[in-house]
Amino acid sequence: MQVAVWDTYVTKTDGSVMHFDIIAPVEIKDKKRIYKYGKEYLKTKDQEDQPLTSKECQFCHIEAVKPEWEDDIIQRGYYIIEIENCN
């Protein structure tokens, strides 16, 4: 399976910047759907009211799915890689 990596930077309510990647199947071309995945993730971090648009989230590249991502992608449609300030 090929997946698209969406590089995402969201300013948190405390002013710090969260950096995470949204991993989704390449077949998903609708940016609003990708942003919805990001908003679902932000809700789990108590940051649901923060903006997530093309300014914060952009397509980065395509790669082969990694085994540790596959279950989440099959179940939820996406996987999140936490990179920085995601606590």
CATH classification at residue 38: 3.10.510.10
The model's pTM:
0.95
Scanning the structure block, which residue is given the tokens 């108590």?
46
Ordered per-residue pLDDT tens for the chain, 87 residues: 999 999 999 999 999 999 999 999 999 999 999 999 999 999 999 999 999 999 999 999 999 999 999 999 999 999 999 999 999
60: left (phi over 0), alpha (psi -120 to 50) or beta: alpha
Single-letter residue type at 50: Q
pLDDT at 52: 96
Full DSSP string of 26-73:
TT---HHHHHHHHHHHHHHTT-TTS--STTTEEEEEEEEPPHHHHHHH
The range of the structural domain enclosing residue 7 comes to 2-84
Residue 29: phi, psi to the nearest 5?
-105, -15
Quote the number of domains for the chain.
1
